[in-house]
Amino acid sequence: MLIVMKQTASEDEIAAVIARIESVGARAHVSQGDEVTLIGAIGDREHVARVEADAMHGVDHVVPILKPYKLASAQVRGGGRSVLEIAGRQVGGPHFAMIAGPCTVESRDQVMETAHAVQLAGASLFRGGAYKPRSSPYSFQGLGQEGLRLLAEAREETGLPIVTELMDARDIEPVLEVADVIQVGARNMQNYALLSEIGRSGKPTLIKRGLSSTLEELLMAAEYILKEGNPNVILCERGIRTFETAYRFTLDITAIPALKEMTHLPVIVDPSHAPGRRSLVPALSMAAAAAGADGIIVEVHPEPEEAICDGPQQLHTDGLEEYVARLEQAAAVAGKVLSSTPA
């Protein structure tokens, strides 16, 4: 961190900043220019973060040198990419993961029918929410533990690993029993207590970008999980709020190559929630795959017209094979192969 002093800074003010740096266990490097004095705070990240010189007398501004995230940064792996192993399926590197399933678990028939259909179509993992983050407290909130039980049954029948959302740290035990990957929803991306708890569990985690979050904020959220010793984090772009009202959210395709430069973590895309309608989902899926995403998480339902939530955007189980065939071609453009069978 570089502390730029005001032109008018006194000797005492400079000395106070140096003393502050040394008091938190960092080292000060003073560079006396013709007009201003620059003071570098050198040391490990946790010490330097405690300098907090912005509000001190005589300080003009502070320039951070290090990125605020460390474990998530691309530099930490020297340009290498993380490849996650989830119940024998790989996510990241040359592998393209197709995570598919209903928005929410509604009934045994619906879950089993969807699980079998997506497995046949070549899905790598199965998704389904038992705990649902709904905008209205009056809407269906998910089947909870009964939903988890049905997901476990779907895994037993199809062998597909399960991705399901954890909203409340109080539900972590039953979710850990069933989930192969915990989903952190967009609305919980900055629930730091939940992220730390998940980090301590060690369970692979898919974290969705918040509705109005920057990529740096997404990486800081991932950092909470990584810092607890859990390296198994997947990032997910799912659309952000913009001024556009023709669809629900704007899928930020730029986030895919940009995140690839910023982090070693796998980056996947949810092509369902941004458009909010089925007709747009295939195009966004292909765009994501061709742009180098490590996978997609897409909503699929046997009867979307009857779905309890997100019906308009869910793909029909019928016709999924053709969608997957096109997806494979788009992924191939980016040099990736669908990881549908256990390694």
Which residues bind to ligand PEP, rule: CB under 6 A? 103, 129, 133, 185-187, 208, 238, 270, 273
How many chain residues are in contact with Mn ion, going by CB under 5 A? 2
Which residue lies nearer to Mn ion by CB, 101 or 199? 101
Q: Does 167 bind Mn ion (CB under 5 A)?
A: no
Which residue lies nearer to ligand PEP by CB, 47 or 134? 134
**Shortest distance in whole angstroms from residue 217 CB to Mn ion:** 22
**Shortest distance in whole angstroms from residue 101 CB to ligand PEP:** 10
**Shortest distance in whole angstroms from residue 166 CB to ligand PEP:** 12
Euclidean distance between CA atoms 316 and 230, whole angstroms: 35
Among 51, 103, 143, 182, binds Mn ion (CB under 5 A): 103
Which residue lies nearer to ligand PEP by CB, 197 or 310? 310
Bridge pairing between strands 89-91 and 95-101: unpaired
Q: Which of ligand PEP, Mn ion, none does 122 bind, CB closer than 5 to 8 A by kind?
A: none
Which residue lies nearer to ligand PEP by CB, 199 or 239? 239
The sign of the torsion formed by the CA atoms of 249, 250, 256, 258 equals negative
Bridge pairing between strands 84-86 and 89-91: antiparallel
Q: CB neighbours of 283 closer than 8 A, spacing ≥ 6?
A: none
Torsion of CA 324, 329, 331, 333, to 10 degrees: -170
**Shortest distance in whole angstroms from residue 281 CB to Mn ion:** 12
Q: Which of ligand PEP, Mn ion, none does 296 bind, CB closer than 5 to 8 A by kind?
A: none
**Shortest distance in whole angstroms from residue 102 CB to Mn ion:** 8
**Which residue sits closest to Mn ion, CB atoms considered?**
103
Which residue lies nearer to Mn ion by CB, 252 or 310? 310
Which residue lies nearer to ligand PEP by CB, 17 or 103? 103
Of 266, 270, 327, 300, nearest to 90 by C-alpha is 266
Tell me the C-alpha to C-alpha distance, in Å, between residue 58 and each of 11, 39, 243, 272: 10, 12, 41, 51
**Shortest distance in whole angstroms from residue 102 CB to ligand PEP:** 9
Give yes or no for a contact between 167 and 133, defined as CB atoms under 8 angstroms apart. Answer: yes
**Shortest distance in whole angstroms from residue 317 CB to Mn ion:** 16
Euclidean distance between CA atoms 313 and 51, whole angstroms: 49
* H-type alpha helices, the chain: 11-23, 45-49, 108-121, 145-158, 172-178, 192-201, 215-227, 255-262, 281-290, 320-333
Q: Which of ligand PEP, Mn ion, none does 208 bind, CB closer than 5 to 8 A by kind?
A: ligand PEP
Mask 283-312, x = binds Mn ion (CB under 5 A)?
---------------------------x--
Which residue lies nearer to Mn ion by CB, 103 or 234? 103
Tokens of 69: 């995230």
Of 115, 71, 132, 138, nearest to 273 by C-alpha is 132
Q: Which of Mn ion, ligand PEP, none does 67 bind, CB closer than 5 to 8 A by kind?
A: none
What is the biggest distance separating any 2 CA atoms in the chain, rounded to whole angstroms? 76
**Shortest distance in whole angstroms from residue 183 CB to ligand PEP:** 6
Q: Which of Mn ion, ligand PEP, none does 238 bind, CB closer than 5 to 8 A by kind?
A: ligand PEP
Q: What is the DSSP string of 18-73?
A: HHHHHHTT-EEEEEE-SS-EEEEEES-HHHHHT---TTSTTEEEEE--S-S-STTB
Binding site for Mn ion (CB under 5 A): 103, 310
